[in-house]
Amino acid sequence: MNNHKTYARAKLWIVLALYSVFTFGAVSILWADENVDERVVAEVVKYWEAAHKKEARVKALVQADMMAARTPTETAVIETIKFQRKRTKEDRKKEIQGLRRSRLAGRKGVREPVKRVGKRTLADRIQLGYLFQTTYDDNVFLAPKKHNTRKDVILETTPTIAADLGFGNVDLDVAYIGDWYYYVEQWKQRRYDQSIQAHSAVPVFKNLLISGDYQHVRAASRASSETTNFSPFIENVFDGGFNYDLGRKFAVGGEYKYRQFHYTDSSQRGNNWFYHRFIPTFYYKYSPKTSFFAQFMLGKTNGGRQRFQSDDWHISAGVKGRLSSKMVAYVNFGILRRKFEISKPNLTTPMLKAVVVWGMTPRDTLAFTSSWDSEQSASDANFYVSLNAFANWKHDLTKKLSTTLMVGGRRNIYPDLTFDPRNIPGARSAKRRDNFLNTKGGIRYNLKDWIYLDISYRYNLRDSNFDSHDYQENEFVGGIGGEF
């Protein structure tokens, strides 16, 4: 008997060691694509919850790595999902049942309000989170390969607080996220990022639902995938919409989006920009959990100091909801057109937003995100076209121990940024093109419901046809965090 136990323990440790080697360490699934709308991700996870009837599956997808998110949008993705507040198991069960019965289920971007049951205390309405993390970074400022790179140890503290202020059928959630960085060597490089978020959904009539989301960010971070320097900026994002049920098979909705990006450093204010978007959408409900849709977007974008103005539109179609008993998705594909009033050339390009979650086995989950879109540029260009795809695999070794691996790539193309290659050292063509490779993996151990340990490794690479934009980065991360 003792020999059998010794053999079993040895086998377990060998399996753990192999998983640590092959996956480098754990992270919860990180939605690494800042172009995919956070509400889209929240919607996919909502369907996942309704399909599998298990909160544990949703929690496994999103827990804890919200603190490690490197962009405001990534943080917003996780926070949007984490508005699932603490309630009793019986309350949760009744709410999920109510969600499945709701005639409003299946609408884009709106988390349906569900009538709350039972009396909730202040502890039920408040959720606190924390993360203390140490990172070794061998290229803090993403310097080109041929330049001297700076290594440093970064101490990071991330407190969060979320409050459920909803009542009856009305949803009202607010959250605060702080992210404080202290650099041991470059001590003057301290950074403080803060974000305030709010979500509301209000049923007006029997078949009409109005919702809104607001996010305010004050940060000193990298503005996008193309930038390498830390820039202080303020970002305001508003996303409001309505959905009206026309019957059992059809529905119509409208969405308004506003985003403002403002650099607080006077030397960079020429790169400020903002846009407006109005998106009417028409739905055909193939089943209670699956809908096909078509949409049309009209919008306008202004660059800082009138550097450029564009009239924007897109037409697209897609599917959302359950594709099978083990798969849920949101896929939206179409054509994007941007007509510039000042600068040329105009832009016509495919557009794509996709999120797919597949429960391969009870212990394995594969998530895929991808987008193809146009982004405002902070360089000499007005804009660039970004195509990217990321895959996240998560495996539960035990109830408390899990491993994940993320791998993805991106390509940024600058159609309106043309140089004479002879005047650019190391340039291999006239139009700038950047290729990215991003990997991340690790291992996580949940000591208790309110505390976990996490170690991970990240590798980031940018290969540009302009050699001065090349870089590579290795990060080794260890942290302790949780929520209660």
- CATH value at residue 140: 2.40.160
H helix count then E strand count, the chain:
6, 19
φ, ψ of residue 131 in degrees (nearest 5) = -155, 130
Q: How confident is the model at residue 420 (pLDDT cuts 50, 70, 90)?
A: low
Q: What are the helix (H) ranges across 102-160?
A: 122-125
405 or 6: whose pLDDT is higher?
405
Closest CA to 312 of 330, 332, 335: 335
Q: How confident is the model at residue 343 (pLDDT cuts 50, 70, 90)?
A: low
Residue 451 tokens, joined: 């505390």
pTM reported for the whole predicted model: 0.74
One-letter amino acid for residue 75 of the chain: T
Question: Strand 208-221 vs strand 231-245: parallel, antiparallel, or unpaired?
Answer: antiparallel
Q: Select, from the ranges 9-23, 110-124, 188-202, the one with the highest average predicted confidence (pLDDT).
A: 188-202
208 or 4: whose pLDDT is higher?
208
340 or 318: whose pLDDT is higher?
318
349 has a pLDDT exceeding 50: yes
DSSP character at residue 428: -
**Average pLDDT score over the chain:** 76
Alpha-carbon gap, residue 415 to 422, rounded angstroms: 19
Average pLDDT over residues 9-23: 42
Residue 480 tokens, joined: 């302790």
Cβ(241)–Cβ(110) below 8 Å: yes
Question: Strand 171-183 vs strand 383-396: parallel, antiparallel, or unpaired?
Answer: unpaired
Q: How confident is the model at residue 97 (pLDDT cuts 50, 70, 90)?
A: very low
Q: What are the helix (H) ranges across 31-182?
A: 38-52, 55-62, 72-81, 89-101, 122-125
Please state the separation of Cα 62 from the chain's center in Å.
10
Q: What is the pLDDT of residues 140-162, one digit of tens each?
A: 888 887 677 889 999 999 999 99
Cβ(386)–Cβ(372) below 8 Å: yes
Average pLDDT over residues 72-77: 38
Among the residue ranges 24-28, 90-94, 183-187, 415-419, the one predicted with the least confidence is 24-28
3-state SS class at 54: coil
Cβ(356)–Cβ(332) below 8 Å: no
Question: DSSP secondary structure string, 303-330?
Answer: EGGGS-EEEEEEEEEEEEEEEETTEEEE
Alpha-carbon gap, residue 309 to 481, rounded angstroms: 44
How confident is the model at residue 25, as a pLDDT?
A: 31
15 has a pLDDT exceeding 70: no
Domain residue limits at 131 = 2-483
How confident is the model at residue 37, as a pLDDT?
A: 52
Q: What is the pLDDT of residues 363-412, one digit of tens each?
A: 999 999 999 998 877 766 777 889 999 999 999 999 899 999 999 999 99
Alpha-carbon gap, residue 420 to 428, rounded angstroms: 10
How confident is the model at residue 65, as a pLDDT?
A: 36
Cα dihedral sign, 305-307-309-315: negative
- Return the percentage of the chain with pLDDT > 90, whole number: 42
Residue 103 tokens, joined: 């005639």
Total count of domains within the chain: 1
How confident is the model at residue 405, as a pLDDT?
A: 95
31 has a pLDDT exceeding 70: no
Angle at 266 between CA 425 and CA 466, to 5 degrees: 15
Alpha-carbon gap, residue 331 to 75, rounded angstroms: 22
Cα distances (Å, whole numbers) of residue 258 to 136, 235, 237, 275: 37, 11, 6, 6
200 has a pLDDT exceeding 80: yes
How confident is the model at residue 306, as a pLDDT?
A: 56
Q: Specify burial of residue 220 (Cβ count, 10 A radius: 0-12, 13-18, 19+).
A: middle
CA quadruple 23, 24, 30, 33: dihedral, nearest 10: -90
